Amino acid sequence: METGVPSTGNLSHDACWELLAAGIVGRLALVVDGHPEIFPVNYVLERGSIVFRTARGAKLWEAEADEPAAFEIDGYDPRQEEAWSVVAKGGLAVISSQEEKDAADALHLEPWQPGVKGHYIRLTPRALTGRRFKVNRPDLWNTRANDARRSSFE
Amino acid sequence: METGVPSTGNLSHDACWELLAAGIVGRLALVVDGHPEIFPVNYVLERGSIVFRTARGAKLWEAEADEPAAFEIDGYDPRQEEAWSVVAKGGLAVISSQEEKDAADALHLEPWQPGVKGHYIRLTPRALTGRRFKVNRPDLWNTRANDARRSSFE
């Protein structure tokens, strides 16, 4: 019976989903006019896919094609002195059904930037990979990482 | 005299650099064979650019061309109930000079995955943008965000 959480190395498929389920912010990477775009999104998991709302890149969302995207989350566990990351790759699809939008809203989906309604987008992962490893310099991670993430404007 | 830290909205150039200077982990987005790639990197600021080490995408780093890239950091300030993000876009260049590598090492640059020496890469931002705003649901951010980032494997 696999626990889903090896102490270090590649993460199992289940461990990746567990981490995705625990998070609220990820970063989406897209190709726009041949150039990489990256931006943070709030997301929820719904029906085995990653759902988010955004007002950005309207041209892209209007495309009928299955736009290729990569989505990333990461974190640091100070007690284990371990960093981890999960990357999901797949195609994007615009959600047009009100029922599906309501399902996402019921899971407390909020857009990264409040007040902007935008589009509801679904990323269905075709590939899901994750890594976890001991960091070399926990002193840096414990201080600077937490400073940056928790109280950058002191 | 601009403080660099408006209470909400777009961040000044100086505020973006301050946040970059305080962070240790960002995410790099690239285009590889027409598809977006995204992965976390540890980084330092050196000579006005973002420097990181990676073993990934060797083919890409060997290219002489100025590969377009986008780099992102974000965070949440629980006391202000504000989220923020910074995105830097620019070209990538491989660092071959030992002197420049030593300068990065002196700033405590470590690769995201320990033990992997890889390449030293420099991203010189041509565009730098940042946002900061009040979140709609601080309860979600305070609990789930911190759970995910600080102690995901409890």
Output the six-digit token pair for A5.
């959480």
B84: which 2 tokens?
């923020």
Give the model confidence (pLDDT) of B5-22 as tens digits.
445 689 999 999 999 999
Q: Pick from B74, B87, B132, B147 the residue to mutate for testing the A interface (most A CBs within 10 Å).
A: B74
From the CB of residue B96, how many other CB atoms can be counted at a distance below 10 Å? Answer: 9
pLDDT at B111: 73
Tell which of A8, A31, A153 to mutate to test the B interface (max B CBs under 10 Å). A153
- What tens digit of pLDDT does each residue of B19-63 get? 999 998 999 999 988 899 999 999 999 989 999 988 766 566 666
| Domain A9-150: assigned CATH number | 2.30.110.10
Interchain contact, B74 vs A25, CB within 8 Å? yes
Domain limits, chain A: 9-150
For chain B, give percent helix, strand, coil, nearest 5. Answer: 25, 45, 30
pLDDT, residue A109, reads 83
Tokens of A101: 């939008």
DSSP A104: H
Q: For A38, which of B29, B114, B140 is closest by C-beta distance?
A: B29
User: Considering only CA atoms, which of B25, B6, B5 is closest in space to residue B71?
Assistant: B25
Q: Spell out the SS3 assignment of B84-133.
A: EEEEEEEEEEECCCHHHHHHHHHCCCCCCCCCCCCEEEEEEEEEEEEEEE
CB contact under 8 A, B38 and A153: no
Q: Does B104 touch chain A (CB under 8 A)?
A: no
- CB neighbours of B115 closer than 8 A, spacing ≥ 6? none
The total number of residues shown for chain B amounts to 154
- Within 10 A of B58 (CB to CB), how many other CB atoms are there? 10
CB contact under 8 A, B136 and A110: yes
Q: Is the ipTM value over 0.85, yes or no?
A: no
Q: Is the pLDDT of residue B2 over 60?
A: no
Identify whether the C-beta of residue B76 lies closer than 8 Å to the C-beta of residue B135: yes
Candidates A3, A8, A27: best to mutate against B (most CBs of B within 10 A) is: A27
Q: Mark A31-66 as b/e (b = at least 16 C-beta within 10 Å).
A: beeeebbbbbbbbbebeebbbbbbebbeebbeeeee
| A residues 42-81 closer than 8 Å to B (CB) | 68-80
Q: What is the DSSP code (8-state) at residue B12? A: P
pLDDT by residue for chain A (154 residues), tens only, comes to: 344 444 568 999 999 999 999 998 999 999 988 899 999 999 999 989 999 988 766 566 666 567 899 999 999 888 888 899 999 999 998 888 899 889 888 888 877 776 666 788 999 999 999 999 888 778 777 754 444 443 333 2
pLDDT in tens, B80-139: 888 999 999 999 988 888 998 898 888 888 777 766 667 889 999 999 999 998 887 787
Q: Does B9 touch chain A (CB under 8 A)?
A: no
Query: Residue B104's pLDDT is what?
Result: 87
Res A65: pLDDT: 63
Chain B touched by A117 (CB under 8 Å): no
CB atoms within 10 A of CB A103: 17
Task: Verify whether the Cβ–Cβ distance B40 to A85 is below 8 Å.
Answer: yes
CA distance A48 to chain B (A): 19
Contact A70, A29 (CB under 8 A): yes
Residues of B in contact with A84 (CB under 8 A): 152-153
Contacts of B75 in chain A (CB under 8 A): 148-150, 152
Task: Go through chain A and tell me how many residues it has.
Answer: 154
Helix or strand run (H / E) with residue B44: strand B35-46
What integer pLDDT is reported at residue A2 of this predicted model? 41
Could you give the CA distance from residue B39 to residue B18 in angstroms, rounded to a whole number?
A: 22
